[in-house]
Amino acid sequence: MVKPPGSEPRRSRRTGPTPLTLRDRPLVIAHRGASQALPEHTLGAYRRALEQGVDGLECDVRLTSDGHLVCVHDRRVERTSNGRGPVSTLALHQLEALDWATWRNPWRDLDEDALDDDPQASFVTLERLLDLVKDWGQPVDLAIETKHPTRYAGLVERSLVELLHRYGWARTRRGVRSPVRVMSFSWISLRRCLEIAPGLEMVYLMERVPLRYRDGTLPLGASVAGPSMEIVRAHPEYVEAAHAAGHEVHVWVANAATDIELCAAIGADAVITDDPEGALRQLTARSTRLGTGELPTRLEET
């Protein structure tokens, strides 16, 4: 019987990319932390994801007006805080003074059990998140997305690599893989990172697959394809094409059970999800059924 992709035991990704055939499921990456349960990009969201047993965390980074890398998705702070203005025009102390949690729980002020100044709801700098990953008791990956366009252009990438150097994760020893990978929709951003840290893994994110890359190839230097869930639903054959070209495939954002199942069935290497607990539960159950022969070994048999 032909074994399905991912039907054998997994290996730690610390020492290098794990061949698809040695995994029993896709890696589960927490998108902005456990962001379905808790406010995105907060310390609590990332701690919750780690406690749930995720394989990795994902964050977006932007540069403040005083040169700090912070974990914020939007260009402006209005959606996820009680502040106003672009992140790039605010200093770190101004961002830290904002409320980054109440938007998810507008009745929090009326909740007698809610803690004032709950540290788990606190704003997260990239440095703080790197400390969390470093001090966690087991290996965990961190996927860092650089946002573009920005007013600071290449300064974002330089600041990122300089910070990773402090942790020994920009250039690792021979045979040792950094737990950090850089993601971007901008090939220019990835190229800037490669020029100063060629050992870092680069993920080329795509909302649509450019015509020249529909054969599974990627821009020079990128080793991981990052198609949207919409791409994978419409063209599941893209995953096989990327694998044939020698690239891993990390799909974003997979939340629905049907999407998680599709990603697993076609051999995606990782799913980036807002609900890591649900994804882990579903994929673990799926692996168990595969082991007992309850699931078909190939997608076309379903």
Ordered by start, the domain boundaries in the chain are 13-301
What is the predicted pLDDT for the residue at 151?
Answer: 83
* Three-state SS sequence of the chain: CCCCCCCCCCCCHHHCCCCHHHCCCCEEEEECCCCCCCCCCEHHHHHHHHHCCCCEEEEEEEECCCCCEECCCCCECCCCCCCCCEHHHCCHHHHHCCCCCHHHCCCHHHCCCCCCCCHHHCECEHHHHHHHHHHCCCCCEEEEEECCCCCCCCHHHHHHHHHHHHCCCCCCCCCCCCCEEEEECCHHHHHHHHHHCCCCEEEEEECCCCHHHCCCCCCCCCCEEEEEHHHHHHCCHHHHHHHHCCCEEEEECCCCHHHHHHHHHCCCCEEEECCHHHHHHHHHHHHHHHHCCCCCCCHHHC
Residues 241-251: what's their mean pLDDT?
98
SS3 139: coil
Residues noted as catalytic? 31, 73
Least confident of 151-155, 224-228, 269-273: 151-155
Q: Options 3.40.50.300, 3.40.50.1820, 3.20.20.190, 3.30.310.80; which CATH number does 13-301 get? A: 3.20.20.190
Q: Cα–Cα distance between 221 and 203 in angstroms, integer? A: 9
pLDDT in tens, 261-276: 999 999 999 999 999 9
Single-letter amino acid code for the residue at 277 = E
Say if strands 141-146 and 56-63 run parallel, antiparallel, or are unpaired: parallel
What is the predicted pLDDT for the residue at 106?
Answer: 60
Confidence of residue 300 (pLDDT cuts 50, 70, 90): very low
What is the predicted pLDDT for the residue at 107?
Answer: 55
Cβ neighbours around 53 below 10 Å, total: 13
* Residue 17: pLDDT over 60: no
Confidence of residue 108 (pLDDT cuts 50, 70, 90): low
Residues 49-61: what's their mean pLDDT?
98
pLDDT in tens, 159-204: 999 999 999 999 888 888 899 999 999 999 999 999 999 999 999 9
Confidence of residue 121 (pLDDT cuts 50, 70, 90): confident
* Residue 18: pLDDT over 60: no
* Residue 79: pLDDT over 70: yes
Confidence of residue 8 (pLDDT cuts 50, 70, 90): very low
